Amino acid sequence: MIDKTLSAAAAFNRRTLLKSAAAVGLVAGAGALVSRRALASSGEVRVFAWSAHFTPELLKKFEADTGIKVALTEYGTNDELLNQLKATNGEGFDVVMPTVDRVANYVELGLVQPLDEKKLKVDNMLSGPAAGTGGKAGVGTGARYMSPADWGTEAILFDKKKAPIEYGFSLGDLWKDEYKGKVSVRGHSGLAGVGRYLDAEGKLPHPFLEGFADETKMKAIWDEILKFAVAHKGNIGKFWSNGNEATAAYLVEGCTIGQNWDETAAALIKEKKDVGYLAPKEGAFAWLEGYCVPAKAANLDQAYAWMNWFLEPKNSAEYVAPLAFNPVAKGADKFLPESASKFFADAYPKDALDKLWWWPAQAAWYVGKRNEYQDKFLAA
């Protein structure tokens, strides 16, 4: 179970700072960058990471501390990262930054290499993030494929005046008539929320988690999920797929409640919006981001220097401070701003931390089928 000493840095959202089109443009140009960096010097680390994660100040500090130059390219979704690495067969970058539940895709396709734990500051890692989905993000191989960077959640974002709720609110409550036209969810995770609610109510043909490992069970489970979701689609005011859309759902589209990222809540709070963020009674969806080394990385020493730098307590805290994420290094909580503690306490009261629901590893076949159900839901 995740270490309860973890704290959240409640600050501004990194995905809302960059429009989706810009993120796509960066990835579209990544192939050219790969060519330009083919003869990268030994004093450089080529990082392909989530958009707006790293402030210029943080990168300058890394360069000052290590003497290593950072060549940073950004993307907006896991799919953009995966498609780019598939296009180059794992070449062109020294560090990439998937979410832990997607690492199985990269391992299965031979796009990333196992990490040498003797070169990593493993003892600096907090126990929960260090284990990762599937054990060290090793997806059952026994090897470590990911060094943790940050973790966060997707839970209930709500307007305190128009849709006030308290702890004990269920994922299933989003589909009550009182919220018609006011709910905002992401397609696939909204369906997963329905699945977890139906599972808790004993209304699925198989336990929800069993669908991640068995395609036949997955189809039976998701058929029931889709049936429920389509029947209650009138509650949806806005679907979102990235941070910009998630924020716009509340600022522009009139939504008052829904499943959303912690960072979106932090962004709205920073803009003085009267919103709350709360784990549902079934447990908040928890995710972990971390660093993997592509199969054909050229600068291995620099890649390990990058990963280890972020495992230092102060660096870990400074990295998450501008975001709404949680640090992964032991002792990092001592360096976080006071506002982080309040955000964290409000979001995860009572036994909420014990109920965190970590996304399981999602194999390529699962992601494909999941996306098919999402498309049916969106089109219904």
- Could you read off the pLDDT of 319-372 as tens digits, one per residue? 998 877 888 898 888 898 888 878 888 998 999 888 889 888 778 899 999 999
Q: At what angle do helices 243-251 and 262-270 cross, to 10 degrees?
A: 50
Answer whether 177's CB lies under 8 Å from 327's CB.
no
What mean pLDDT is predicted for residues 264-282? 91
**What domains can you pick out in the chain, each with its CATH number?**
20-151+288-338 (3.40.190.10), 153-285+362-379 (3.40.190.10)
Residues 30, 331: Cα–Cα separation, whole Å: 36
pLDDT above 70 coverage of the chain, percent? 85
User: Could you tell me where the beta strands, DSSP code E, fall in 169-321?
Assistant: 183-186, 236-240, 257-261, 275-278, 285-291, 293-294
Handedness of CA 80, 85, 86, 92 (dihedral sign): positive
What mean pLDDT is predicted for residues 214-233? 98
Residues 62, 40: Cα–Cα separation, whole Å: 18
pLDDT of 355-367, one tens digit each? 889 888 778 899 9
